[in-house]
Every structure is written in structure tokens, then in C-alpha cells.
Structure 1
């Protein structure tokens, strides 16, 4: 399988594992092989077009054997000579089951859409905590360049760095004389990185994937100057689960970001409405049972000792992003009392968030609950979205989200894209609770008053059959040749997405009293516009409030 979520993307704009450049080779004959010195070690990278790439550098000890299900341990002092021309292993990927048996064309469209997120070409291994650095060819150790750190998405179930080649971004920035450095890290996903239960909570080992990201950011502070980067000018950027991760890095530690970054970019994701880590008990218990650990005195210790293949197989059987429950994911960050001490939206309301400028935006989300009918929708909401909601609250959900396909997501597509009796309706509900509500809440509650913020909405690709304007289509606008790439570069350099070079139109910052958003749309003459960010105001406010009361 080559695929998945939240999470989706356009295949053509991503690079798979690379070989050294062979085209236009003579242009670089005089350029020496790039090297970098870290501690007492020399890392040799490779030239890729007009960039230097250093791949697969370990930033933590391998999280295997007794270090499985433990916080990442910083790598020791580097010594010796190292080849940094190959991607490191991808972290274990959860097996995704694409729906669409009755319609092969649907399955084909879903598989094509999710393809870039899923690590197929790089082998999986628990020894996966590596980091990659891409620099301009002429960057020296005294260049002090701004640094853009990428956190990949994948529903916290899969994903890896080899799917995202930052060289095009570095090249683009250099072309406009605003050079930057691109960094990406692998972090643990699914049950390996987000195991959740009372046992995990008691042991203090929840949210390990977030801790991996944090340790990688500390590595950047320690070593990026050796590549020509300025540790004081770091921007963190992510899409989907990566964007959610950016918001949580801003929220962790009571909002103290330890000086690890000065700005954040959240592309289709924000402070999700998650509750206590014991909400994942059912999935933990299932993994324990399937691995034969249910009779162990210490089930967590037993899981550390079971063979990798058995543990991976058990995790693969847990619900994935295409399961009936949709965005109520089995594996995701949850409140563990240590890494996350309260539901993320509570941190937003309490102004316990890093005081940095940010960009945040979103689009639609679908591909879930294809078979739910009007009669069973209330049961679906009660069983999965809000088990403790009152009958009155569920009545309000149904009132704000009518059973009329043109009113559902993808919006403005009429009766098209309604893959099931209640598909577009549920897509609107889950999309507002998990994406639109948190985004607008983060903008409106104090953050936009303290630091500058910019908001966007992507409405492109509504023409795509079955899954129009699917979640992840915006990736081509960032890693491809789209306008968002230039906004990201300018923000990384100046903490402002506006500037004189590159593509785009003026993007006003978001103000609570005058909320404006940049809209990307399917219009050849006017691909972008500025509009007031008040669409579906009542429904989104209701969804946000519901998720505050009943986190998933």
C-alpha cells in the first residue's frame, strides 16, 4: 500500500527516497561533497540540485528493547565518520485499510489521495529516530540562516520524513535571496508513540511521539549552527497531525516553549479536543490481549518484551483513519498529566500557550462513516463523538447540521461527493469539532490579541471525483509550486507571510474585531482572495463548545 490521511496529498509533488543528482551533473563538478562536523564526528551528505542534504542523522538512542515505550533518550556524543546520504528507517507504520470494495474507482481515488503520507519506500524499524537537514549549497557555519522545521502528518498512525523533500523550498528561498534551512524529524506514531491507558499514565510514558518531536527541537538548538542555521530563528511547521503537533508544542510545558522556536505554522490542524489518556484503554487492552500479555503482572513491561512483529500486528488491527468511527482515532495525543496536563482547548482558553506569531488554516475533512443512515446518526454521535452528551446536546447537533447533502462537507458541491447516506453531514460535524472549531478558538481567545496571527482556508480541488477538496490537497500548494510555499518562506524569514518576492497577494493579519482569512480557490483568474472569517459561525461555535464539554 502506498497510502493515507488526515493526511492526504498529491503524489506528483513529493520526492520518494532519492539517489544523488545525475542530471546537470557538470554544473556541480567543482562543488565539494558537503560535510558537517558535530562533536567529534564528520557527517558526509550529498548534493541535491542546488542544495546540500544531510539525511538520517540519529538524534536519540534507538527506542528498542527496554527503551520501547519510554521517553526518547538523547543520543550520546557523536564520534567518527558517518554517511548521511540515506533516509533513516521510517517509524513503524499502522496498516491502513482503504474502503471501497464495492466501487474500485472510489478505492483508487482514495489510495491516490493518501499516497504521499504513507511510508512505503523506506523500510520500517523501531530504530527510527533520525533527523534530516537541507541547506543552500553555499551556506557556511556563520550564515545564521532562519530554520524551518517540518513535522509530518498521517493521523498519528503513519508518516515519515522521506515523503517530503525540503530541497524545493530551500531552492526557492535561495532564488529570492531569502535563504533558509529545512529540517525534518521522524517521530513515533500509532501505538508505538501514543499508547494510552491507565498503565501508561501511571508509568509516565504517554505522548512519546510529542516527546520525540521535542527532543528533535532541542537537537536543532544544539547543532543547527554547524549547518549555518540560527537557533534563535526556528519556525515549526506541520500539516494535519503535524499541524496538531505544532499546536501541542505551543501548549506543552504550560506554554513555555523553552526558546525552541519563535513561530508556528499549522496547516489543517490545531489544538484538538482530546481528553484523558485513559480514553484509550480499550485499544491498549486489545493490544495486550492480542500479544498474549493479558495475564502478565505488568502488562506494559510485557509489551516491551514481545517480539516486534507480534506487537506491530496487534497495533495494525486497531481502528485506522478509515474505520467506522472516523476522526475518533485510536492513537493520538491525550492528556497524560505530564506532557499534556489538560485538554488542549482548556490551555487555549487559559492563555497557557507559547507567545509566538503563527499561521493557521484548514479545509474540509471526509472519508468516514460511509454507511451511517439518518436513523442511526444519533447513535453514531453518542457512541463515538460524544458518549456523555445529553439528549438536548445531540438534538442541537442535528439542528446545526441538517440532513441535506448540499449543506455538508465538501461544502458548495451540491449533491456531489455524498459517498453515503449521511457522509457529508458527518464530515461537516467531525470537521468542525476537530479542525474548524479549534482553529477559530485559537485565533479568537487572546492569541490574536497578543501576537500576530494569519488565517487561511483552502477550497481547492473540489472537482476531484468522490473526494472533492479532500483533506491534504493543500500539500501540493506547499511542497509543490503553489503560493503557500512562498508565504511559508517569508514567514520563516520575517515572521510575516507578506513580502515583495514570490507569489501571492497581501495577507492581512487576523484581528478579533476584524477577522480576515486568505482563501485559496479553484479560479484560474482569481486563485486567491481575502474574505471575512465568519463562515458558518454559529455551527462552528457550537461545535467548539461541545468539544470543550465533551473532549474525545
Structure 2
């Protein structure tokens, strides 16, 4: 009798599932039926696997693409997140800094309570409901998180798809999960020799090939793909433009970078001390093959083993061990050196930053209090291979004067530590403004390019910090940048279309340096991208000569 009841309940559950599936939107991939969900005018398919689970012997190896689909795929729930390693402020940070950081993470950093697992290599597709096959441009988002956290579950594109419909330029929004932290961005000699550097970027590349193969089933045009990223996602977009000799394999026709450019980083072998730390913390130091040992420990062990490594809120600030560096395979040389060699996909692009990119990362070096300590910090942390004579001009160009520091334009206010605003100005320029301007100077005469600087959503102590622009772009209804990006995805030009909240945005060139400024309380202004031009020129030359 008990078995009979179980069989009855199983039959009812199966019937209910079939009934729900019959009333839900579906897509056919190979021999599989993918079941999605509809919310308002947006149909979503979450968590479709694009690669084999990178577990067991596949951990710390290049992604293995899915070769075909069969059966039924339930794509109705937010996708499982890759293991997350969230940055934490220094425990000894002053209370004011802790309060400012807490406000920042509440306001500017998306999160999700979706489960976490190494079996996370999936793709999510959101489309305007009723889309016909093979018709629409596609916007692919690569999420932020410093290459240690972030997920498709935390950055759904409902508002962007809805806004595209309102503008009469409907697009498809695609979001990719990729490996993070020690699972996807580990460095060191062993990693380089095994050819397994920048695995998160390699995941993304496999996902882009998946889009080219399958997006037409969702109504997308595989020849009209734009890749867009914020922060680590923007650095990823730059890497995809630069890898493979600039041959983008027809995977995308345009790029958008919010707060991220080709980084001034060097070879992945410089990360050896961090690899050794992870190996020791994971209990693998005595192993004959430490990389193979790392494949055998538990997920939690490897995650915990890497938790002590620097993050963006640590003393070293923006120079974390997770940023892409030359690995000899995906990136054959430092990114900026590849740009100089012409290894760049010849596609239109948009790139921009917030005004105060460096304030967030400068919170971790609050105990730098004197001019000499600032000088030592720059030399030892950022430019250890440069001579004192080479870096000497920086200390005049970034003076010990709060009014010249970041948050910019705030006088002596917001000086959270004795050298905080000076450090924030330096880090923001070194990691964001200078690389952006370098990329534009190198490429704007060769391919269409537009640039912006955002002054939106000010926060106490941090000004207009890293990420303060993206909040508005994902909000219900979006903002002017949302409209520009939709139009750019549809036509390869951010101008035109039906938006009433945009103005004509001129292309960038290294002569007039026209730039779009988005300013709270003022709106849109066309300005000139010449802030701290002498300092940024020195930084650019130093970063090319001494990549970190």
C-alpha cells in the first residue's frame, strides 16, 4: 500500500511537471527541450550548461564544451553561482571607512542567494516575449566582482530587455557564469607551464562560441553580438578583443567596457608567491605535483585556502592576484604590449569610467600616513622594477594636497586617512583612467570608439566610486547609458533611435578627446578627456615599461 501511494504521488508530480512545461515557453537545442519562464514582457532561460562541470580531474583545466543536448532542461530558476570569494575590508579599518564601505556594498554591489557549486558553467538568455527566431541583436554581459565573485543570478537583464522594447530596438540579453578566484584565475609558474592560466576568460570564450552556435534558437542573430562588461567583466571584454592576434572568430561585432580596459599587468609567473600560499593553505605543499593535489581537495578547502590572498579592499588595493596576466596561451604577452603590437579586434567599442575609480581600493591603505610612506608604497607595490628616478615625477603630479585628490572636486573634504585622497587619485588613474586613455589613443584612429566619464550616485567618502554608474544602467527603466548601449548593440552607433534622454555623442579621437559626461543634477554634457593629462602620460609610459 505504501509503495502504491508513492507511485501515485510520483505519477501526479510527473503529470504536474508536464502540465507546467506545456504552458511554459520552450526552446529546442539539438534534441533537448529547454523550459523557460515568463515575467511580464521578458522570457528567461536560466542556467543552460555550455561546458562540462569543471570538477574532479576537470578542475583547473580548460573548459570542455558541451557537445550536444538531449532530454529536458529546466531553465526556470536562477543559475547556480560559481564559488564566491567576497572581498572584506581590513579588520583594523577606521569606523568611518567601514561605514562608507557598508553603504557602498548596499548601494552598488548586486548579490544573490542562489546556491554555489563548481558545477556552474552555464549561460542565461533573456528575450522579449514573442521573439521570432534569428532576428534580434544580442547583448552579452560579463559580470563584475574582481574575478572572485559575481554571477548571472545577481545580474539579470529584465530591465534592459524591457527598455529595449520601449525604445523600439528589442535586443536579447545573455549572461555568462565563469570560474572565479582560485578556480579560474590562479597564477604562478605551475599554472603557466600547464597552460591553465586565465581559465575564467577561457570559459567566457567557450560560452561565446556557444552563443554563435545556439543563439538563433532564441531569436538572436549570431552576427550581431555585442559583448559588455563592468569592472572585471570590462577587463574581460578587452581581453577578448586582444587575444588570438585580434581575431575574434566572428564571435562579436562590438564591445562595451564600463570601468575596465587592457590592464597594465605583466606575466602570470609574478604571482608565484600567491600560488605557493594557496598550495600551503590547502595542505598540498608536500605533494610531488602541487597542481594535481589542488584538484583533489574539497571545494571549501580550495576556497578557504585562497581567502587570505589580497583583494581590492586590501593594502595593495587594485593590484590583486586575480587580474588577467600573460599566460602564454590565452594572452601570449602583457595586454598593453599586445595592443601596441596591433593585436586588437577591429570592432567598434565604447569605454568609460566613473570620476573616482580609485576611492574604493584606497580604503585599504589607510595606514599610509606620510609622504615618504606614500613614495615607498608606490615604488614597492606598484612599480618595484622601476628606478627611483623614473617614478620621481609621480610625486609632484600626485601631490600631498587633499584638494587635488579623489573624490575630485571636493576640496579638503572626504580625507578618510592622511594620504587617502592622494592614494585614491593615483590608484584610479593607474588602473582605470590611464589604461582607458591608452587604449583610446592606440585604437580610436583605427576603429569607431566612444568614451564617457560618469558622475552619478555619489556616496559619502567615496565620491562617484567604481561601479556607481552600473547601478543606474540595471535599474528599472535604466538611464541614458542604458539607452546608448541598446542603440549601440542594435546599430553599432550609440546615437539615433527613439530615446528622448540622450544627446549626440561624438566619436573619440586623440586630437579633440571629446567625451560624454553624465553628471548628477546636470545631465549629459560633452566634455574634454584631458584631466591630469601629464600624470596619466607618465603613468602610461611607466606601465608599458614596467607591467606589474
The answer to whether the superposition gives a TM-score over 0.5 is yes
> Which of 379, 395, 403 is 2:392 aligned to?
395
Q: CA-to-partner distance for each residue in 1:490-522, whole Å, 9 max, x for gaps?
A: 000000001131221110111222210000112
> Which of 462, 469, 476 is 1:474 aligned to?
469
Q: In 2 relative to 1, CA 137–118 (structure 1 residues): closer, same or farther, beyond 3 Å?
A: closer
Would you say 1:131 and 2:123 are equivalent positions? Answer: yes
For 2:453 and 2:254, how far apart are their aligned partners in 1?
19
> Which of 383, 406, 411 is 1:409 aligned to?
406
Would you say 1:539 and 2:538 are equivalent positions? Answer: no
> Which of 539, 543, 550 is 2:546 aligned to?
550
For 1:290 and 1:216, how far apart are their aligned partners in 2?
32
- Residues 74-113 of structure 1: matches in 2 within 5 Å? 74-99=65-90, 103-104=94-95, 106-113=97-104
- Unaligned runs of 5+ residues in structure 2 are 1-19
Conservation of the 8 A alpha-carbon contact between 2:264 and 2:334: yes
Q: In 2 relative to 1, CA 476–307 (structure 1 residues): closer, same or farther, beyond 3 Å?
A: closer
Would you say 1:326 and 2:326 are equivalent positions? Answer: no
**Aligned residue number for residue 49 of structure 1:** 40
Would you say 1:344 and 2:335 are equivalent positions? Answer: yes
Would you say 1:449 and 2:452 are equivalent positions? Answer: no
- Residues 148-227 of structure 1: matches in 2 within 5 Å? 148-227=139-218
For 2:471 and 2:91, how far apart are their aligned partners in 1?
25
For 1:136 and 1:207, how far apart are their aligned partners in 2?
34
Q: By how many angstroms is 1:459 displaced?
A: 2.0
Q: By how many angstroms is 1:262 displaced?
A: 0.2
> Which of 373, 378, 388 is 1:376 aligned to?
373
Conservation of the 8 A alpha-carbon contact between 2:278 and 2:302: yes
Instruction: Give TM-score, length-normalised by structure 2.
Output: 0.92
For 2:514 and 2:485, how far apart are their aligned partners in 1?
18
**Aligned residue number for residue 277 of structure 1:** 268
For 2:188 and 2:487, how far apart are their aligned partners in 1?
42
Conservation of the 8 A alpha-carbon contact between 1:117 and 1:153: no
For 2:531 and 2:145, how far apart are their aligned partners in 1?
27
**Aligned residue number for residue 64 of structure 1:** 55
Q: Which moved more, 1:34-43 or 1:151-160?
A: 151-160
Q: CA-to-partner distance for each residue in 1:112-138, whole Å, 9 max, x for gaps?
A: 323454644112211111100000001
Q: CA-to-partner distance for each residue in 1:335-382, whole Å, 9 max, x for gaps?
A: 011110111111222221000000001122223211112231122112
**Aligned residue number for residue 305 of structure 2:** 314
Bigger Rg over Cα: 2
Conservation of the 8 A alpha-carbon contact between 1:255 and 1:352: yes
Q: By how many angstroms is 1:402 displaced?
A: 0.4
> Which of 249, 252, 255 is 1:258 aligned to?
249
For 1:182 and 1:539, how far apart are their aligned partners in 2?
38
Would you say 1:483 and 2:475 are equivalent positions? Answer: no
Conservation of the 8 A alpha-carbon contact between 2:487 and 2:497: no
For 2:168 and 2:339, how far apart are their aligned partners in 1?
37
Q: By how many angstroms is 1:460 displaced?
A: 2.5
> Which of 354, 359, 374 is 1:366 aligned to?
359
Conservation of the 8 A alpha-carbon contact between 2:97 and 2:416: no
Conservation of the 8 A alpha-carbon contact between 1:100 and 1:106: no
- Unaligned runs of 5+ residues in structure 1 are 1-28
Q: CA-to-partner distance for each residue in 1:300-358, whole Å, 9 max, x for gaps?
A: 00101112211111111211111101011021211011110111111222221000000
Q: Please give the secondary structure, in 2, of the residue aligned with 1:236.
A: strand
Q: Please give the secondary structure, in 1, of the residue aligned with 2:444.
A: helix
Conservation of the 8 A alpha-carbon contact between 2:152 and 2:176: yes
Q: Please give the secondary structure, in 1, of the residue aligned with 2:137.
A: strand
Conservation of the 8 A alpha-carbon contact between 2:112 and 2:154: no
Q: In 2 relative to 1, CA 136–354 (structure 1 residues): closer, same or farther, beyond 3 Å?
A: same
Conservation of the 8 A alpha-carbon contact between 1:157 and 1:189: yes
**Aligned residue number for residue 465 of structure 1:** 460
Q: By how many angstroms is 1:222 displaced?
A: 0.5
For 1:395 and 1:213, how far apart are their aligned partners in 2?
40
Q: CA-to-partner distance for each residue in 1:454-478, whole Å, 9 max, x for gaps?
A: 010112234x212111111001231
Computed over aligned residues only, the root mean square deviation of the Cα atoms, in angstroms, reads 1.6
Instruction: Give TM-score, length-normalised by structure 1.
Output: 0.91
Q: Please give the secondary structure, in 2, of the residue aligned with 1:517.
A: strand
For 2:132 and 2:112, how far apart are their aligned partners in 1?
34
Conservation of the 8 A alpha-carbon contact between 1:275 and 1:335: yes
**Aligned residue number for residue 511 of structure 1:** 509
Q: By how many angstroms is 1:270 displaced?
A: 0.3
Conservation of the 8 A alpha-carbon contact between 2:80 and 2:153: no
